[in-house]
Structure formats: structure tokens, C-alpha cells
Structure 1
């Protein structure tokens, strides 16, 4: 039922009657009903269904097209099923050597719409799964419908044939209207806005000497402008593109460095956080909260390397969190399930950072966390060896817990 919006009312149109002649499988009847429902066909007549009626297999295969199955009309003969029809089509993949018009599904749909507009009753015969319609049944029809298919493999299953005819008829009856379109989220950008963006882009490109050699500058500018004018961007598009250009211009490092600070700046940020966080938790100080968030966005080089290793190694995947509060403390990495915390020691740390780490280590140890101290130089030199050390610590913590 994917794609079905039950909050929307169906389109009610007078379409052709679908007549299934001696269908053999209930599942095929149900799938035909589903195909009919897709394209607004509601009238289904069945001639001598092999497995009787009602049929639970048909109900299951109909995928919600119960309104069609509940109003099925049963007949003993094809003649009785089409007695009230003024225009009857017979679908077949075989030539029956009968002197009557042969049309494709699109032309048949046009004739059905015309006949319905003239207050006539139209119907389409669909034959048995194994051998289709017999000559005498085709003889009852005014027209033959055949589909433009591969002559070497022309047989369609019952539901496919019904769906193709339903599609052609519904497309014509609804003037090919689509059920939805995408709303315009923002009006088209003005020339003034486009020019302002382009001037800003060119200014930034000049700063990095992109528009060179000088003799090609004008051609390059024309090509660049054409890229954006072909897009026909909206005002929101222009805002987004402007933001992209300015973010690049301001020198943000992106995931390669983890944030807007390089590794040495991030190390200094840790010292600042340690100074502000003494005896205070992140929830108690706005300054500490802000610094903690900034630190999370700006890992040191060693922290970034270790985090990537922890998230890609199967031994630790999804176990560790980075810069996450544990009570009033924020270790570099922590596994709540394994009761292991990891601290990265950077060269040249001042006394405040060392005192802050010692207090954190003591607090975590009192709560049965095993704290692993790793030097940033060790991580950057041989992260694989570091992972082995962490795995050993996890095993030790598990053994202590046992």
C-alpha cells in the first residue's frame, strides 16, 4: 500500500467495465482489482471463476481494493456479462482471423471516452490465464485490443493487461493530471540578488587567484555566470550559495581537521576549559558549557585520529562516546557499558590541566571506571598499538566487574 494516502478522496469517473472470463487463480483476480483501483476503474464482472466466489486469495492480493471486490458481478456466460454493452473490446495477443478493427490501448481509450460521453456502456474482455479468449468470445466484441509488445514474448499476465488499459484510459480521462507536484518553496531570485552573490563570489575568487591567466578572466566570468543563470535559482538557493562561499572564505577546515580550530588551538582550549571548570560542572556554568561544546567541535589531531579508529574498529564500534559528561566531569572518551574512560595527555600541559585530570581520574575510579591515559604522541605515532592497549583495559574492566 506504499504511496496510498487514505486521507485523500479517490477520483470518481465512469470508466469501462472489466470482464474477466473464467479466471483460474484468486490471486490474479485480486491483482486485477488492485490495478483497477490504481486507475479509477470500479466495475468488475467475472464469468465462471474456477475457484468460486468469494475468494480469500483474491482478497489478500487486492491490497486494499476491497470496494471493487465487494461489488463484483458474477455471470455464467460471456454473452450475459456483456449484454448491456454498446461498445465491447476483446484483448488478445493472437490474431483471430476475424474481420474487425484492431486497435492499440491508446486508441481504445479514446473510443471508450467518446462512447461514455455519448451515454454508452463500454467493457473490455480479458481471457483466461493459460489460453486467453476463444474465437467465439472474440466474435462478440466490436474491436480487438492488442498491445505493442515483443512479438517473440507477447503474453501478459492478467493484471498487467488490466493495468495497461486502465492507465491509458485514466490518463486520457483526467487529461494526464499528476496527483501532486512540488510546491515552489521560494520565489525566483532577482537579478539584483544574483548580481550581489556573483560580485561576492568573484571577490573571493580573486583573493585566491582563481581567475587566471588574466587574458582568460572575462571568458571564465561569463562561464561562471552562465552556470548560475541556467539554474534559475530561488532566493533561498542564493542565500544557501552565499553561505557556502562565505564559509569557505572564512577558512573553515571541515571534517579533515574536525572544526574551525587546528590541533594546537584545540589543545589551548582544553587548558582554558580546565581553568573555568574547577569545582563546577558543565550544567552549572554557561562559560563551561560553551567551552565544552566548542571543544567537542574542535578535537585535537590525536583525538580525531583515535575517534576515527574507535568508530571503525569492530572491537569498539558504537561503544565509546566523545566529550560526553559523566557526572560533573567530561573525559575525552567514555564507554558507559564497559566502564572505561580514556584521557589523552598532550605535551606541555600546564598544572591546571594536570590537576583537573587527576581530579577527574579519582572521581571516575571511585565509580568503578577504569581510566586509560594515552599520550597524544603515542596515538599519532601508532594508533594500532593504542587500540590494543584499550582492548586490554576493557578486558581488565570486565574481569574486575565479574
Structure 2
């Protein structure tokens, strides 16, 4: 008898668990159906537009049913649309109604109503007010929908772009978590706060970098970010700091990347599509800089991207000189010397090798005088 009672209780528990699981699954399916799919910027904008168009109508009490009736067939996001429809909260609704009355009066009579007293409102008549509300709503609802939809699309698109960048930063930082804690913190901070990372990724995402030679790659985080964002097909990095190269090699496991210790005056050695020279040139003499640029120009098939200090940017240049002197003196940056010359010198060398050059500021949010020089080569007649 005890066994039968135990089996009976077990069966009841199993039945309850099945019912609970079935209810949860039904709820998840219903919620998924109400959401309609991934909330892309376009779907978010359309959902908000529908919600606002319905919310400003004077059909109070029916807004939810109207939102569901419109959004479900169109596979828009019902919760988002209904949230937008709540623009007609009790303390806002009178202002919406007043706006619709005035718009309706302007359309019907060519002038706004002078509602200055209770007597004037009573004299106007209820039927006339209802007609003006109806006509005003026909104009007001589409206008609110268009405005709200456009703002939502702009905000959602900006957030989506930031989110994509943040995901790349997270993936890169996670790769460096296998090493020293300091390195992960440094890489995360560098990628988040150094404007060159976004600038280079924007350049790469716009045109694709192909095979990349990263001359003076340091810990390799920029090249790894290019691979993680699918903006480069391979990366070959070289730096004279063996400790940093070891960290880059460990972090790039599983990616199409190689990092090697080498003399930057002799790199790269193989042709590439894109060459990166980020914060490198000012550690060499003028003759060495020209030789490096000439070598890179002879091997880069498409573009060369340089970030360096411009000495002609006023107080920013003085701040950057001081910072470079301190980091070099403390051996944080292992440059042999500082040789800072106008960015126009690098432009002349690259233009002499058939590149078109463009310089833009690359110091956003910092006190430094860094600029980004992007040199592009026109495709040869055979490659067109």
C-alpha cells in the first residue's frame, strides 16, 4: 500500500510538472509572437510609429486592442507599440485633444479657435468639437508617427552600432583573459578609450582590409579586433618587444594571425593589402622613417593607415611630446628616441609612390595631437 501511495504522489507531481512546463512553453510562445521577431531599428521605428498613431487618437480604452490588431498581422513589436501608445496618459491626454481640436479648426475654418472662456467653448458646440477632433486626428496622428518613428530609428541605429563595437571589444578582451590580469585591463581600456581603434575599424568596415601587415603591433589587439569584426582576412604583426609578441600570439590562437619579433625597419617582408603603422614612426630618425614608408609603400597593394603625432597642433602637440618623453623614458614604450616631424613629410613620401593621402584628427576625447593618415592606391588598369 505504501508503494502504491508513493507511486500515486509521484504521478501527481509529474503531471503538475508537465502542466507547469506546458504553461511556461505556451507563455513563451505567446510572448515571442507578440514581439514578432528581432527588434531591428526598422521594426522598432515602425512599432513606435504605430503606437503613437494609435495613442494620440481619442479612442481611450481601445488602444491596446487596436495595437494588437494592427501589430500582430504586420509582425511588429506589440509591447513596444503599446508603450508608445501610452503617450495618452491622463495628464497628457488633454493637451493632445486640444492640439487635435486646434489643428481641425485650422483645416476646416482656416483659423485656430480663440478658446478664451467657458462661454466661448459652450457656444462652439459639441458636434463642432467632435468634427474638429476627428479631422485634427487625421493630420496629427501621422505627424506624430513620422516624428517618433524617425527618432526611434536614429537612436536604435546608433545603439546598434555601439553595441556591435562593444561586442568586438568584449571578444578581444576575453582572448587576453588567458594571460596577465594587467594585460586584459590594458587592452580593454585601450580599445574602449583610444579613438584610433574606432577610426581604424570604421575604415576597415567601410572597405575591408584584406591581408593586413601591422608594423609595430604591440600586444596585437588592433589586428585581433580586425579579425574578430571580419574586417580583415589575415593579420601579420611584428614588434621588437618579445613580451608583447608572446601575449599577442597567445591571444590570437585560432585566428588567421601571426605575430613575430622583428626590426621594424625591415618590416613588412611580404606583400599585403593594408599596412598599419600605429604610433610607430616617431621612434625613428627621419631617414629611417622615409625608408620604412618607402618599404611599406612598395608592399601595400591597397592602403596604408598611419596614426602619429602632428607637431603642428598647438598645445596638444606639447602635451603629446611630454607624454611620449615620459613613457619612453620609463621604458613603457620601447622607442630608442623621439623624432617628431610634420605629418606632411610622410604624406610626401607616400604620394611620391602613387598613393592619395588624407589626414583627419584622431584625438577625440583626449588631450593629444594624434592624427590619422590614410593613404590609398588607385587600382591598376589590369586589376579593374
Do these two structures clear the TM 0.5 threshold for a shared fold by scoring above it? no
- Normalising by structure 1, we get a TM-score of 0.22
- Which protein is bigger by CA-based radius of gyration? 1
TM-score, length basis structure 2: 0.23
